[in-house]
Structure 1
Amino acid sequence: MNSICVYCGSSLGQSSVYAERATDFADELIERDLALVYGGASVGIMGTVADAVLDAGGEAIGVIPKALEAKEVTHTGLTELHVVESMHARKQTMVDLADGFVALPGGLGTVEEIFEVLTWAQLGFHEYPCGFLNIDGYYDMLTAFLDHATSEEFVKPIHREMVVVEPTPETLLDAFASYEPPHVKKWIDREET
């Protein structure tokens, strides 16, 4: 594993613990010699994690669409910045640059991005670990939803097990280091039934 893509909020949230743990996550990336791939902004949790990586001498790679670059939220001190045409291009570039995917606290965009990359893993488009850093229980209700979707048979248990949810950067990245992707077919051919 060389780099981790982090999806997270462009705001800091209500509690200071989110930014504190984002800094801890950045420290753990540095400790493990992992580059940060993220959305390229200088604000919110995104800016916090990037600043912490850079302050510790690490590599921070940003990917931002032109439309957001124009709003002047682009981080100007990154190791590398990719300015792309669209949100779709942003997400694909981030996937292409990373070996694992983590959601820190964030809103609709964060959840949409991590669920898209989880779906790609479920479909076998990649075999990298995907998970949530469950800071102060932030993702408890989302985890409960995934358990409910599994019990209602909308998510297969083997696909539910793909979703790594841990409370600390250390335990999350340890789980990533030992991650084994499931090898099951998502769809059953009609001829096989």
Structure 2
Amino acid sequence: MSRFPADTHDVNMHAPRNKADLFFSFTWLALQGFGGVLTVVQRVLVEEKKWLTQEQFVEDWAVAQILPGPNVVNVALMLGGRFFGLPGALSAMAGLLLAPTILVLLLAAAVAGFAETPVAQGMLRGLGAVAAGLIAAVGIKLVMALTNNPMGRLACGALGILSFVAIGLLRLPLAWVLLTLGPMASVWAAHCIKQQRGDA
């Protein structure tokens, strides 16, 4: 049974059948996620499995961004824990990590002498460009989820632009950007939510 709180879980959303469903779903997700895992995570969890709404995915991904460790591992832990507690979190994480770890070890052994060749380097650069395109496409798709954000589109857009300028252009450390813009956004969002509730 889902452990989503009643006020945050859309009644149209589905839940994993059991911990094995979590494990195999995250295994399949991980095996598709070369280079552009964000695109796969969003598609599988929101569009295919319907375990999260688009808005919930954006919120969970935002939390995953500020926690230590890989974002997708953090999402797996949060989602598994939400549905089945600690066993669910461990099942999702194991599904995410087990098969790719085995595959990477096997591939590393198989291509040890091939990885530095111009052909292999060219292949990886080409795949990197594809992965960048996939991530950009999902980023544009996720922006649409901000339509219902309590801060409003203007504030969300301004924060997004500030983040891009700080990290992409000024090359500021991610930690400092999060510690600066994160609290500002949180305070403003809390103020907007309070105003909405007051108006209601």
Fold-level match, TM-score > 0.5? Answer: no
Greater gyration radius: 2
Structure richer in helix, relative to its length: 2
Structure richer in strand, relative to its length: 1
Given the two structures, how large is their TM-score scaled by the length of structure 1?
0.30
